Each structure stands twice: as C-alpha cells, then as structure tokens.
Chain A
Amino acid sequence: MTAPVLSMQGVSKRFTLHHQNGVELPVLDNVDLQVHPGECVVLDGSSGMGKSTLLKLAYANYRTTSGRIQVLGNSGTLLEVTQASARELLQMRRETVGYVSQFLRVIPRVAALDVVAAALTDGEISSPAVVADARAQAAELLVRLRIPERLWTLPPATFSGGEQQRINIARSLIKPRALLLMDEPTASLDVANTRTVVQLIREAVARGSAVVGIFHDPDVGSDVATRRIDISCFRSNL
C-alpha cells in the first residue's frame, strides 16, 4: 500500500483556559489515524466531540498537546507538523493541504473570480498567461457551482451565505492537493449545489487526493465516504 498522506499517532488536544480558573478541556485523546491517497474519511459524532478540532490539528491551525502528526509533502518528504516552522507550515498549506471551512474570510476589494484564482497565482505578479489560465479555471468552477457571472467581478463581501460558501469551496478546490480537510462544506447549500460539491469531492478523490471531512448531511457523508470513523473513539475519559 502507498504511504499515507496524513498520519496521526497518539495525538491529544487539551485546551487550557487561563482566565476561567485555568480549567482544562480535554477534547481529543490518543488519535491514531492514517489517511491514504484516494481515501475519503468521514468523521462522525455529535457536535462538540472534537471533529473540527481534529481537522484543525492536521492543518496546524490548532497546536497539538501531545503526539505526532505527519503530512507527506508533494516532493515525497514527510513534514512533522507539530515541529515544523511557520514557513514550512505555510508551504504545506500552499502546496499539499487544503482546508475548506464553512465560512469565507472575506478579503475586501478582491473580485470573486480573483479570490478563486488566487491559489493558482499565489498572489504574486504572475505572467499574463498564468493569470488568464487561472481565471479561466476559476470561471469553470464558478459555472459549475452556479455563481451567476454578473457576480464574478464583485468582491464576495456582499454575497449571500450560500454564495460565499461556494466561493470558498471553489478557491479551495481549484488547486489539486494531496490532502483536503473539509469542515461542513455543504452546510448552507441547496440540493443542486450540494450534488455539485459531492461530485467535486469524488473527482478529487478519483484523482488521488485524500479527504478528511465532516458533513452534517448524512446522505452527503455516505455519498463520498470510503471509510467512516466515529470520533468518540478518540475522546478522552478524563
């Protein structure tokens, strides 16, 4: 079998709230998880159990209390996520790991089309050909996600929740990545768009991406999952 893209070994996460009398919130304990290319692992469990926390640990958005997280980079090197420097983590996010949250953090004054194309141009001044190609790919995705063309040149700040979410999905999926972490990407989408997102996830998995996802809609979960994990097995008994 090929090497896992994501490997978590004995990972635990505890929050210490210094201003609530130093109370400790144990969320995850002893997470052992390996995710391989072409797998779509769906996390199950009721809210507050730590599903999002697991994704955030893998993305290095949260800091691991103990244990080991490894991500297989594009060049075949293993990155020790809990030890990596800020720039190694940023490179990991640029090249290997995508994260789709429910919410778009809006960038003022940037047109929707360019928000989506940004992952391909990396924000730097790129050659006109690269920019044109990135925009063409972005446009294709926006069409598939039913964002009306008249919105493409507008900054997404004023878009509806569902439109913003689709922009967010498009910007995260435009660049093929080895690992996709998805936190309720279909939460506020209608049926047709949910089907499109399911299709996009399946295409990514078919291309060899590994996906770890949380889906509130059980149908979506069963449509995309190649494996399901109940998060409660990673709960600490503290």
Chain B
Amino acid sequence: MSEMLNDPMLGAGPQYEMTSSGEGSPEGTERMEVSMGPHHPSTHGVFRMDVELDGETIVKLKPVFGYLHRNHEKIAEETSYLGSMPYTDRLDYFNSMTNNWAYTLSVEKLAGFEVPERAEYIRVITAELSRLQNHVCLIGFLVQDMGALGTPLMYAFRERERILDLFESLSGARMMCNYMRFGGCRCDLPQGWIEQAWQVVEAFPRFLDEYEALLSENEVLMSRSQEVGVLPKELAIDAGVTGPILRAAGVNYDIRKVDGYGIYDRFDFKVPLGEHGDTYDRYMIRILEMRESVSILRQALKDIPEGEIVHPKAKSRGLRPPVGEAYGRIEAPKGELGFYLISDKTPQPYRFRVRPPSFINLTILEDMCLGHTIADSVIILGSVDIVLGEVDR
C-alpha cells in the first residue's frame, strides 16, 4: 500500500485547492452548484434543493420552497371554523383523515366539546387506515427513487386503492374526505363497511410479508440506504423532528402514547424504534408501524360500539367558540400535526396556525445529506416523507 502511495506516477493525492468562486483549478475541479427541482421527479412536488457539489459529494444544501404557498392560515382566518375543514384535506393530501382529526381535536379543545364513543372508534380506524396507505406509498416512492421503477409502487398503490375504496364509501371522496366534524363525524358507517374493512385489514399482513420478502433484504435497497443519511438522536430532538424519522433515530416519542388523545390509551400496541437512524431504519420503522397499525385496527374493529356519531351538545355550523386559545396535536403519519387556534368569539378564528410535520422535518435535511452523493440526497429526501401541500400551505 505504502509503495503505491510513493509511486511517482500516481502522485501524492490532490494538490489543488477547492474554490467556490468558480475559478477553475488546473484540474478543472471547481465546485458546482446544482438546482435540484422544482420540477424534478424525486422531489415529490414543487420543491427545490440548492446543492453545492464537490465532485459528486454534497458540501452544502439549502431547501427552497413556497411554490405551492397559498397562505392557508390567512384563508382560514377569513372563513368560518367549519369552512376550514375541507382546506385541511389539502394540507397533506395523502392523509385527509388525520388532518381533519387534528383540526377537529383543536376546535374541540377550544370550544370544550366532547366526542361520543362510536365517533372516537371511527376516528381511530380511519386514522390507522390512513397511516397504512401513507407508509406503504412512501416505501413505494422510496424504492422508486432507488431505481426500482414501477413494480413496488404499483403493489403499494394496489393496497392503497382498497383503503381509498373504504374512504370513498364512507365519505364520498377518495382523497379529500372532509369527513370529521366538531364533536364527532359527518355520517355513520355505511352498511357492510366494517366487514369490508375487516377484509382489508386481514389481507394486509399477507401483503406486508410479500412486500418485505421482496424488499427488506434486497441488496440494492440495503446498500443504498444503510449508513446513508444518519440522523443523530440529539439533533433530531433539538430540531423538533417528529414521526417515524424521530423514532428511527431511537427516540421513544409517539404522541398516541404520550398524549393518549382520543381513545388511544385503550389499545395495546408497541412503538417500534430504530437503532442507527439511517435511511434503512426509516424504511424499516414504517414496515413495523404498519404491523402495529394492523393490530390497532383489529382491536378497534372488534370493539366498535353502536351509538351516536356526533355529540348532541357539539355544534359545527355557525360555531362561535368562547374567547380563548387551544393547541391540539396528533400523531399524523408524517409526525406531529398540530393546530393552534385563537377565538375572539366571532365565527372566524382570530389566529389559525398549522404546525406541519413535513415542514419542520426539513430542518435537518442539510445535516443528513452533507458528505453523501447527490444521488443519495434523493433517497434521504424520500425517506423524510414530505408532502408539499403541507410544507408550503
């Protein structure tokens, strides 16, 4: 080895200095700036990464967004409380059910409403179904970014279709469900829905086994994702990262367990944790979370009681909550989704704030990407799981 290094033909390594001014060194190795996006298939929407490269290695990365900004908060401050419900569907448009739940949870805190049993169960069922289809699609997109074009994503979408069919028969819409109401849900489950849901839930673990057999020990997936984009535990907490990425870094923080909002304290489920905080752990954590979601769904579908679905004292139309403020949050599939509302006893909220998980999880994108190649940045971004409707609002 040492002989090779002393070989005059090979030289003693690079003799030039890197410049970022654009003045080329004799070897022609100046840093290059690449603008990834806003229309790049791997950015999952209109999102840009301004990347500075040394060869293929990332030395600087700045996320740029706002292309989809419509000032959702301002719109909501000029609309009635109920009028904002359909807008929340369009934040994270994969998971309108959990968006609805986070918003209605905050309004219930603000107005002091209670929720009947049956509605709580329906909320848990729809939220966990949302989590299943979000995670399965995320994995589909992630392996698509690694080059597995088509097949895994199509498998994921096949499963998602079944869940969207359930949402359609329940709310009339596949993605923009607009289903929950303050103090309950909009309408009761249609006849035969529970049986249909049982079929989907019972078929899901078999699909997961098949999916895992294809992917979990796949050599390409392992070599592209292990040790890539490591997120240290301390940084994750400091940067306010939430959701599967946080738990992949080994922090045991799941709002379903911590807050026990709704009726989550009644269900028996585990919180999977990662060890390395790399992209592979972030992949694996989603598989494990889906298995836990299936377990929650089985318990909820078994125990769901009959009864009313909107609390008689709750009011959706013409709501004027008493003066005050409230912050409510849930464990959405992408992390902590919170709504902060201030009421001045008029039909419109004085302040309406969304705490979007995708947006805040992007804080650490640069830290995870530094030192990796530009091709890895695509995978790291894919494993963060962002939706631009929520980032830009």
- Do A and B interact? no
Which B residues lie at the A interface, using CB under 8 A? none
